[in-house]
């Protein structure tokens, strides 16, 4: 069995750094992101909605501009449907804790439907909110590649179902879920319900926004959360929540604080998006995200390249004896693999980093339930994830490195 490197090992200077951990965060960031953030901090530096001096007005305009740009990007009804949060996790908490609770819209006796594929950013707030609300949470299983079936999801909806929360793309296997088909079915169910009993369809788009086209109207979701720092190539520390207008009056602020609206009131604003935006905004991250969005014009061309990388990655990995590969070719180059008991994922990742200069992620990837389903619960998997800027040569390099490690294991067993 190959031995993992010592803790203080470093990639030799001559080795090219191959970054294949884009499902965690993108690197390098999109062109112009760092420059835009530095320019704002150097020349503006003010808070938005916190004064009428020139710099504050400039800051507010940056916020309005990005809000409108993101609304157009996902085809939202209006810019007021987009609120900013400290990240995708915060956005998900805002919608879950804002709608699920003992005195909230989704209250006692409600049925909440999710899946075994979900990230803890969905599961943890949902379980806490559901316990407080005395609501029931049910999880739909996936197939061996992490894909959900429309019939299984819809088949579990009953008269008490008020929330369906699903990820758009699995961060473990890269499986793209049939969100549009599920959304269409939920819309048909909602047509037979009155406004107070309709189902909210929540989508975690952490792995998809910026990688694949997202049209809110086509997907049929009522809420969608996503960060800047993954597919969009923006900075960490900022995320968005889209919320359909029909839910604006029904959601309750999950945090309270200053907003720059009516400082005399003890309550948060009653209108969106200020209703969900307490505190000082992360303006450097907002202007960085705006700069990253300038590169999104070529999204269709990029999607073709990413799909080709996914095909190359999965075909190459599946040709290697001695490893188990999870996932299948799709829109995104994400795959998880297992070398077996002879080489835990943590050790495999350390070897790839130290010996080959390849950076990937090992572990459970904050999605423990799918590992129980895949049979990798004890140590998780080794996840390889490409993104914008990943080259076919880098995919070839990781395939060759995995093959070399697997061959060494085979020769020793």
169 backbone dihedrals φ, ψ, rounded to 5°? -135, 135
Work out the pLDDT band at 405, boundaries 50, 70, 90.
Answer: very high
Question: Which one, of 164, 168, 161, lies nearest residue 146 by Cα?
Answer: 168
The whole-number pLDDT of residue 8 equals: 46
What's the mean pLDDT in 124-150? 95
Question: Which one, of 245, 242, 189, 253, lies nearest residue 216 by Cα?
Answer: 242
Question: Which one, of 332, 319, 384, 386, lies nearest residue 353 by Cα?
Answer: 384
Structure tokens at 119: 């990230």
pTM score, whole prediction: 0.93
pLDDT (tens digit per residue) in 368-395: 899 988 899 899 999 999 999 999 999 9
Q: Is the pLDDT of residue 297 over 70?
A: no
| Residue 195: how many other CB atoms lie within 10 Å | 8
Question: Which one, of 345, 321, 309, lies nearest residue 18 by Cα?
Answer: 309
Q: Is the pLDDT of residue 62 over 70?
A: yes
Q: Is 330 left (phi over 0), alpha (psi -120 to 50) or beta?
A: beta
| Cα distance between residue 410 and residue 107, in whole Å | 55
pLDDT (tens digit per residue) in 314-358: 999 999 999 999 999 999 999 999 999 999 999 999 999 999 999
Structure tokens at 253: 């602020």
Within 13 Å and on the Cβ side, how many CA atoms surround 37?
17
Question: Which one, of 411, 385, 402, lies nearest residue 338 by Cα?
Answer: 402
**Residue in this structure with the two tokens 């188990």, named with its chain if needed:** 324
The whole-number pLDDT of residue 16 equals: 78
Work out the pLDDT band at 47, boundaries 50, 70, 90.
Answer: confident
């Amino acid at each position: 069995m190959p031995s993992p490197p010592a803790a203080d090992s470093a990639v030799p200077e001559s080795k090219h750094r191959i970054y294949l951990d884009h499902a965690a965060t993108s690197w390098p960031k999109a062109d112009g992101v760092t420059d835009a953030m530095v320019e704002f901090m150097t020349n503006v530096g003010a808070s938005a909605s916190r004064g009428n001096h020139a710099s504050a007005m400039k800051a507010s305009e940056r916020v309005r501009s990005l809000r409108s740009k993101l609304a157009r990007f996902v085809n939202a009804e209006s810019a007021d449907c987009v609120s900013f949060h400290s990240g995708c996790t915060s956005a998900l908490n805002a919608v879950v804790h804002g709608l699920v609770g003992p005195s909230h819209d989704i209250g006692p006796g409600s049925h909440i439907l999710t899946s075994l594929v979900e990230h803890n950013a969905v599961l943890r707030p949902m379980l806490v909110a559901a316990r407080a609300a005395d609501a029931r949470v049910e999880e739909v299983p996936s197939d061996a590649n992490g894909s959900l079936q429309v019939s299984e999801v819809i088949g579990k909806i009953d008269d008490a179902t008020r929330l369906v929360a699903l990820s758009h793309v699995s961060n473990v296997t890269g499986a793209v879920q049939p969100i549009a088909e599920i959304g269409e079915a939920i819309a048909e169910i909602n047509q037979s319900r009155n406004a107070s009993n309709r189902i909210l369809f929540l989508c975690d788009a952490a792995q998809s926004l910026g990688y694949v086209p997202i049209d809110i109207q086509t997907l049929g979701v009522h809420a969608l959360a996503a960060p800047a720092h993954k597919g969009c190539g923006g900075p960490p520390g900022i995320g968005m929540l889209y919320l359909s207008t029909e839910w604006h009056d029904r959601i309750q602020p999950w945090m309270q604080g200053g907003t720059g609206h009516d400082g005399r009131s003890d309550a948060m604003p009653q209108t969106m998006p200020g209703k969900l935006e307490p505190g000082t905004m992360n303006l450097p991250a907002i202007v960085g995200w705006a700069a990253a969005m300038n590169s999104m014009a070529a999204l269709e061309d990029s999607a073709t390249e990413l799909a080709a990388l996914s095909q190359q990655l999965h075909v190459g990995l599946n040709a290697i004896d001695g490893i188990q590969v999870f996932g299948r070719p799709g829109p995104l180059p994400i795959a998880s693999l297992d070398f077996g008991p002879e080489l835990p994922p943590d050790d495999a990742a350390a070897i790839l980093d130290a010996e080959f200069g390849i950076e990937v992620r090992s572990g459970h990837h904050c999605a423990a339930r799918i590992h129980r389903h895949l049979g990798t619960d004890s140590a998780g998997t080794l996840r390889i994830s490409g993104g914008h800027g990943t080259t076919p040569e880098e995919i070839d390099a990781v395939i060759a490195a995995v093959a070399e490690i697997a061959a060494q294991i085979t020769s020793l067993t």
